[in-house]
């Protein structure tokens, strides 16, 4: 069976005046239908650019320089503008972080939904309305009719994000890329949205790429997890395994940085230093400057290799506990 | 919405009251108007009689009250120079200015906004750079110089268009209009173009800035992620958003152009308000100056009022806000 989404060797670089920024530098991902992949990393690790690249939404001065993105077996990289547009929104959708900003403030929700519908189908006003209502009730909005007539500012953050999800679901896509869709929401609303997405994923069989920096969110939602650092995947495997027994030192560091298990007053664990600038990155493992296990060998880039039931990109992986 | 309108209307009235006080102080209370009204060699009797006739012997507050009362009744007094009711004089000149500024500002918008939007949509294209370069010229070249250059080029050298005047007019609704005749248009083109260049540059800049900002916004990114084509994103999503600042500038420029078309009207001897006010300042024709100032203030307020209403129509957040 072909995977819903298969990304191979994806490289997206931004060509700036001071040099090429290698925001994504060789990413491989595979997601089956009905599964959720959590794509985790710090700000600047390239996870959002990966999401945008999958949809072909990279703007000048950025460009996909290499690699392949296959949606249900169809290659998306290199499609012409119009062919790419016909795929976007219909077979692969995206949701963004801030629901305050992603809906157009001056158009009614109904108008925006019918525009999204008409991007790919010719439908009558009545059909558009009826399908919008259905999509809105599917994401758990109690009064879809009122919602259609409302402007975004009249809805709460959670409702707006539900509207965005409903828009993403309009054409029943195979894959949804969700770029930190719950980060801007209250914790309680966050929980509701996560539950809703879990249900929708199971119901519709949509494959979900959930981009986040929040490990707690991933642990409750994702089947698989991919940890990104400086434009590359450093660890990729089943969520339970990776979180319980991380093999890459960076994953370990991320997990230790979650203050959940620390005692009050105790010094919080942290990864020393910060993510390196992606411009003129020196060869070798990008994490070695911050890594306690680094050695001379780390001056070459380690290949991603299978270890303990998952993939890790490290010469000195942590041992299984 | 109704509350919003009433509130704006009350504000407008308040502003008019303040303006009338300022105009009164500026024009009537400073200096001695008597010296202008009568000849220096007039007898004391004539002098006293004139003072009484114009109410200059009364206390200042009472003079102001009289002034406002007659304003409200539509009585702006008589022009010293033309010896006709000021209101009539101004209304006879208003259509010329009105058509000149409307053609200039609307033309600037119709041409400038699409150019600016294109420059914002494709900031790196050669055409966009050319547009932006031209807009710098539009900003920096002084109006009088452009006007003179146009006259030299199109009227003197090429002889295509007349150098001044209004040309043939046609009466409609009891007013003479040049825009209704071909000859009128040939007279209108050069002054309107002169007047519109700066506005066009402004519209280009505003539209470009709005477009640039909007194209990077999340709602555009989301719309594009839905597979909506760029054309529909721009005309369906972006245009309404960037119209909000454009409408503001349009309104302000319309009012400002109307009030300060003086230079252009003088160069092209366009018989509009600007020429009238310059003439009346030179001849110290106070009633005309007062009426002109009040009219300009009134125009600004009405246009701002319309802009507010347009805002509410464009932006739902203004409609439901508590402001």
ipTM entry:
0.86
Band of residue B321 on the pLDDT scale cut at 50, 70, 90: low
pLDDT at B323: 40
* Interface-testing mutation among A16, A104, A180, with chain B (most B C-beta atoms within 10 A): A104
Does the CB of A51 have a partner CB in chain B at under 8 Å? Answer: no
Residue A275 pLDDT greater than 50, yes or no: yes
**CA-nearest residue of chain B to A88?**
B227
Residue A171 pLDDT greater than 50, yes or no: yes
**CA-nearest residue of chain A to B244?**
A106
Mean predicted confidence (pLDDT) in A44-71: 89
pLDDT at A321: 62
Residue B198 pLDDT greater than 50, yes or no: yes
Domains and CATH numbers, chain B: 96-320 (1.10.3720.10)
Does the CB of A154 have a partner CB in chain B at under 8 Å? Answer: yes
Band of residue B28 on the pLDDT scale cut at 50, 70, 90: low
CB–CB contact B223 A104 (8 Å): yes
pLDDT at B174: 63
Q: Name every chain A residue with its beta carbon within 8 A of the beta carbon of B246.
A: none
Q: How many angstroms separate the Cα of A82 from the Cα of each of A76, A78, A124, A165, B232? A: 12, 11, 23, 24, 13
DSSP codes, B29-86: ISS-THHHHS-TT--HHHHHHHHHHHTTTS-HHHHHHHHHHHHHTT---B-TTT-SBH
**CA-nearest residue of chain A to B242?**
A106
CATH 3.40.50.300 range(s) for chain A read: 5-91+173-261+269-312
Does the CB of B231 have a partner CB in chain A at under 8 Å? Answer: no
Instruction: Indicate the helix (H) or strand (E) that contains B161.
Output: none
Mean predicted confidence (pLDDT) in B86-102: 84
Task: Provide the shortest C-alpha distance from residue B296 to chain A (in Å).
Answer: 33
Band of residue B261 on the pLDDT scale cut at 50, 70, 90: confident
Tell me which residue in A57, A82, A115 faces B232 most closely, judged by beta carbons: A115
Whether cis (ω within 30° of 0) applies to the bond prior to A61 is yes
| CATH architecture of the domain formed by A5-91+173-261+269-312 | 3-Layer(aba) Sandwich (3.40)
Residue A265 pLDDT greater than 80, yes or no: no
Does the CB of A120 have a partner CB in chain B at under 8 Å? Answer: yes
CB–CB contact B218 A98 (8 Å): yes
Supply the mean pLDDT for chain B: 81
Distance CA(A250)–CA(A189), nearest Å, equals 30
Residue A113 pLDDT greater than 60, yes or no: yes
Distance CA(B149)–CA(B155), nearest Å, equals 10
CB–CB contact A105 B317 (8 Å): yes
Does the CB of B237 have a partner CB in chain A at under 8 Å? Answer: yes
Intra-chain end-to-end CA distance of chain B, in Å = 10
* Residue with the larger pLDDT of the pair A259 and B196: B196
**CA-nearest residue of chain B to A94?**
B225
Q: Is the dihedral of CA B231, B232, B234, B239 positive or negative?
A: positive
pTM for this prediction:
0.78
Tell me which residue in B218, B223, B316 faces A106 most closely, judged by beta carbons: B316
Q: Name every chain A residue with its beta carbon within 8 A of the beta carbon of B232.
A: 115, 119
Tell me which residue in B218, B226, B316 faces A116 most closely, judged by beta carbons: B226
Lowest mean pLDDT among A116-130, B232-246, B250-264: B250-264
SS3 state of residue B171: strand
Band of residue B322 on the pLDDT scale cut at 50, 70, 90: very low
* Residue with the larger pLDDT of the pair B183 and B235: B235
Report how many helices (DSSP H) and strands (DSSP E) chain B contains, helices first: 15, 2
Supply the mean pLDDT for chain A: 87
Q: Name every chain A residue with its beta carbon within 8 A of the beta carbon of B124.
A: 60
Distance CA(B249)–CA(B239), nearest Å, equals 15
CB–CB contact A57 B221 (8 Å): yes
pLDDT at A111: 92
CB–CB contact A103 B315 (8 Å): no
Residue-wise pLDDT tens digits, A221-244:
889 999 999 889 999 999 988 888
Q: Name every chain B residue with its beta carbon within 8 A of the beta carbon of A96.
A: 218, 221-222, 225
Distance CA(B203)–CA(B109), nearest Å, equals 6
pLDDT at B27: 72
Band of residue B298 on the pLDDT scale cut at 50, 70, 90: confident
Highest mean pLDDT of the ranges A263-267, B107-111, B174-178: B107-111
Lowest mean pLDDT among A151-165, B58-72, B176-190, B247-261: B176-190
pLDDT at A38: 92
pLDDT at A1: 61
CB–CB contact A101 B219 (8 Å): yes
SS3 state of residue B177: strand
Encoding tokens for residue B137?
């010229």
Residue-wise pLDDT tens digits, B142-154:
888 888 888 888 7
Instruction: Indicate the helix (H) or strand (E) that contains B172.
Output: strand B170-172
Task: Provide the shortest C-alpha distance from residue B208 to chain A (in Å).
Answer: 17
Residue B126 pLDDT greater than 70, yes or no: yes
Chain-centre distance for alpha carbon B227? 43
Residue A176 pLDDT greater than 50, yes or no: yes
Q: Name every chain B residue with its beta carbon within 8 A of the beta carbon of A93.
A: 225-226
Q: Name every chain B residue with its beta carbon within 8 A of the beta carbon of A89.
A: 225-228
Write the secondary structure of chain A as one string of H (helix), E (strand) and C (coil): CCCCEEEEEEEEEEEECCEEEEEEEEEEEEECCCCEEEEECCCCCCHHHHHHHHHCCCCCCEEEEEEEEEECCEECCCCCHHHHHHHECCCEEEECCCHHHHCCCCCCHHHHHHHHHHCCCCCCHHHHHHHHHHHHHHCCCCCHHHHHHCCHHHCCHHHHHHHHHHHHHCCCCCEEEEECCCCCCCHHHHHHHHHHHHHHHHHHCCEEEEEECCHHHHHHHCCEEEEEECCEEEEEEEHHHHHHCCCCHHHHHHHHHCHHHCCCCCCCCCCCCCCCCCECCCCCCCCHHHCCCCCHHHHCCCCCEEECCEEECCCCCCCCC
pLDDT at A262: 67
Mean predicted confidence (pLDDT) in A185-203: 85
CB–CB contact A89 B219 (8 Å): no
DSSP codes, B65-76: HHHHHHHHTT--
Q: Name every chain A residue with its beta carbon within 8 A of the beta carbon of B217.
A: 101
Distance CA(B174)–CA(B163), nearest Å, equals 27
């Amino acid at each position: 069976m072909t995977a819903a989404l298969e990304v191979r060797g994806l490289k997206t670089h931004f060509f700036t005046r001071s040099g090429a920024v290698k925001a994504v530098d060789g990413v491989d991902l595979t997601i089956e239908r009905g599964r959720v992949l959590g794509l985790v990393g710090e700000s600047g690790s390239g996870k959002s650019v990966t999401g945008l690249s999958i949809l072909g939404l990279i703007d000048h001065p950025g460009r996909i320089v290499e690699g392949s993105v296959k949606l249900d077996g169809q290659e998306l990289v290199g499609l012409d503008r119009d062919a790419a547009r016909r795929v976007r929104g219909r077979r692969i959708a995206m949701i963004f972080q801030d629901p305050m900003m992603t809906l157009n403030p001056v158009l009614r929700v109904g108008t925006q939904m019918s525009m999204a519908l008409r991007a790919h189908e010719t439908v009558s006003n009545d059909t558009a309305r009826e399908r919008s209502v259905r999509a809105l009730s599917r994401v758990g909005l109690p009064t879809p009719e009122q919602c259609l007539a409302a402007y975004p500012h009249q809805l709460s953050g959670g409702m707006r994000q539900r509207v965005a999800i409903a828009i993403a679901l309009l054409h029943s896509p195979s894959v949804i890329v969700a770029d930190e869709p719950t980060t801007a929401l209250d914790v309680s609303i966050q929980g509701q949205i996560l539950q809703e997405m879990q249900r929708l994923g199971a119901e519709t069989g949509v494959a979900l790429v959930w981009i986040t920096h929040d490990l707690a969110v991933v642990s409750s939602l994702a089947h698989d997890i991919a940890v990104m650092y400086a434009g590359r995947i450093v660890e990729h495997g089943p969520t339970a395994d990776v979180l319980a027994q991380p093999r890459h030192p960076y994953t370990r560091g991320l997990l230790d940085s979650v203050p959940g298990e620390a005692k009050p007053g105790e010094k919080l664990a942290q990864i020393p230093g910060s993510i390196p600038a992606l411009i003129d990155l020196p060869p070798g493992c990008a994490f070695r400057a911050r890594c306690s296990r680094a050695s001379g060998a780390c001056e070459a880039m380690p290949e991603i290799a299978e270890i303990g039931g998952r993939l890790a990109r490290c010469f000195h992986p942590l041992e299984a506990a | 919405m109704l509350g919003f309108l009433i509130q704006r209307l009350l504000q407008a009235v308040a502003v008019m009251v303040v303006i009338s006080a300022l105009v009164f102080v500026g024009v009537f209370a400073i200096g001695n108007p008597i010296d202008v009204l009568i000849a220096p060699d007039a007898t004391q009797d004539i002098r006293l009689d004139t003072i009484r006739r114009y109410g200059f012997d009364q206390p200042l507050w009472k003079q102001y009250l009289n002034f406002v009362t007659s304003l409200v009744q539509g009585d702006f007094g008589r022009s010293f120079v033309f010896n006709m009711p000021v209101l009539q004089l101004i209304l006879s000149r208003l259509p010329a200015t009105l058509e000149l500024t409307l053609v200039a500002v609307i033309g600037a918008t119709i041409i400038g906004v699409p150019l600016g939007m294109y420059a914002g949509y494709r900031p790196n294209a050669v055409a966009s750079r050319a547009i932006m370069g031209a807009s710098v010229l539009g900003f920096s070249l002084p109006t009088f110089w452009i006007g003179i250059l146009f006259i030299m080029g199109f009227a003197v050298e090429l002889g295509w268009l007349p150098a001044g005047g209004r040309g043939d007019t046609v009466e409609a609704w009891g007013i003479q209009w040049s825009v209704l005749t071909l000859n009128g248009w040939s007279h209108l083109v050069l002054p309107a173009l002169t007047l519109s260049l700066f506005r066009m540059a402004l519209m280009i800049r505003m539209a470009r800035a709005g477009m640039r900002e909007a194209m990077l916004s999340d709602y555009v990114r989301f719309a594009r992620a839905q597979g909506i084509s760029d054309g529909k994103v721009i005309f369906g999503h972006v245009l309404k958003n960037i119209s909000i600042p454009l409408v503001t500038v349009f309104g302000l420029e319309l009012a400002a152009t109307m009030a300060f078309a003086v230079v252009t009207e003088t160069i092209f001897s366009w018989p509009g308000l600007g020429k009238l006010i310059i003439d009346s300042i030179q001849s110290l024709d106070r009633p005309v100056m007062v009426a002109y100032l009040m009219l300009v203030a009134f125009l600004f307020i009405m246009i701002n009022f319309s802009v507010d209403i347009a805002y509410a129509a464009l932006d739902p957040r203004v409609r439901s806000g508590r402001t």
